[in-house]
């Protein structure tokens, strides 16, 4: 257990490319047309992770809260950008609220985990703050994308219902409350489902990493439990706050619906 992690030599890392070759082979054989995406994805995986490894090395060495927060903001921007790209709606401007909302919610959740639960001293210690923040962002950006996609789709599909309620004296919030509920629910369900399967179907990333690093599995599960709960909380908070903020943007002056 104390042997620590076994280093993967560079040439062995290249050996792992055999898996992407298999994926490329499938694409070719079945004419899936995914070859280009697999190639770009592989190159980006190498480039982004090498870059992140290098940056983390510097951030750990400098050990400055400003640098940690700066990197977190960049990661949040990338998460917001990715989530934004998954939502297909051009009639409503939601990029800025999405970025500001995601950054503040996930900053709050990450700080609560490092400062109050794991009780790291100081709370922004990069070895804890950045990986935990990364997990919050990575898992929750999907839920935000799902919730917003659902919000916009339902605002269009149920435009007649929204309008009918407005005509009977509802305000924008009352006219769209059931749409908001459905959207937040859609965003939250995957992370709740993953709580059901964790430990039975999958050994999640944080725990796996700690076990590979030589930690005691009973200690590793403590971290994993915190991670699972924090993801559910971040997902709920992120989907709810962003859906509520961006719902407002689906209405123009005079509570006029913009999507129909």
Partner 1 sequence: MAASQQSAATPGSALAQPVSKTAAPSGAARADAPHMALRAVRFAYQRPGDPPKVVLADADMAVPRGAFILLTGPSGAGKSTLLRLFCRLEEADAGAVLLSGQPVDELSPAVLRRRVSYLQQTPTVVPGSVRENLLLPFAFKSASGQPRPADAELSARLARLAAGDIPLSQEASTLSVGQRQRLCLARALLTRPEVLLLDEPVSALDAESARAVLDAAESFCLDDGGTVVLVSHAEFTPARVSPVQYALSGGVLTWMQASST
Q: Given the rule CB under 8 A, which residues bind partner 1? A: 160-161, 163-171, 174, 252-257
Six-digit token pair at 167?
């005509």
Nearer to partner 1, 33 or 253 (CB): 253
Nearer to partner 1, 61 or 157 (CB): 157
> CB of 186: closest distance to partner 1 in angstroms?
19
> CB of 179: closest distance to partner 1 in angstroms?
12
> CB of 254: closest distance to partner 1 in angstroms?
4
The two beta strands, 256-257 and 251-252, are antiparallel
Nearer to partner 1, 68 or 250 (CB): 250
Nearer to partner 1, 53 or 253 (CB): 253
> CB of 252: closest distance to partner 1 in angstroms?
7
Nearer to partner 1, 29 or 160 (CB): 160
> CB of 255: closest distance to partner 1 in angstroms?
4
């Amino acid at each position: 257990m104390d042997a620590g992690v076994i280093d993967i030599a560079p040439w062995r890392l290249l050996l792992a490319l055999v898996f992407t070759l298999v994926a490329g082979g499938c694409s070719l054989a079945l004419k899936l047309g995914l070859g280009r995406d697999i190639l770009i994805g592989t190159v980006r995986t190498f480039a982004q992770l090498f870059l992140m490894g290098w940056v983390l090395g510097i951030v750990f060495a400098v050990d400055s809260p400003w640098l940690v927060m700066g990197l977190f903001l960049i990661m949040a921007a990338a998460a917001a950008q990715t989530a934004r790209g998954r939502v297909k709606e051009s009639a409503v401007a939601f990029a800025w609220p999405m970025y500001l909302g995601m950054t503040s919610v996930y900053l709050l959740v990450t700080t609560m985990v490092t400062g109050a639960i794991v009780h790291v001293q100081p709370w922004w210690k990069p070895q804890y703050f950045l990986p935990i923040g990364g997990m919050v962002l990575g898992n929750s950006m999907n839920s935000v994308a799902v919730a917003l996609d659902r919000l916009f789709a339902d605002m269009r599909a149920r435009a007649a219902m929204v309008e009918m309620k407005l005509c009977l004296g509802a305000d924008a919030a009352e006219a769209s409350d059931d749409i908001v509920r459905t959207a937040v629910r859609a965003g939250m369900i995957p992370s709740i489902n993953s709580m059901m399967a964790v430990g039975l179907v999958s050994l999640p990333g944080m725990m796996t990493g700690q076990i590979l690093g030589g930690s005691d599995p009973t200690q590793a599960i403590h971290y994993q439990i915190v991670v699972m709960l924090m993801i559910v909380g971040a997902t709920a908070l992120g989907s709810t706050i962003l859906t509520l903020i961006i719902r407002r943007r689906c209405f123009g002056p005079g509570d006029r619906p913009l999507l129909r």
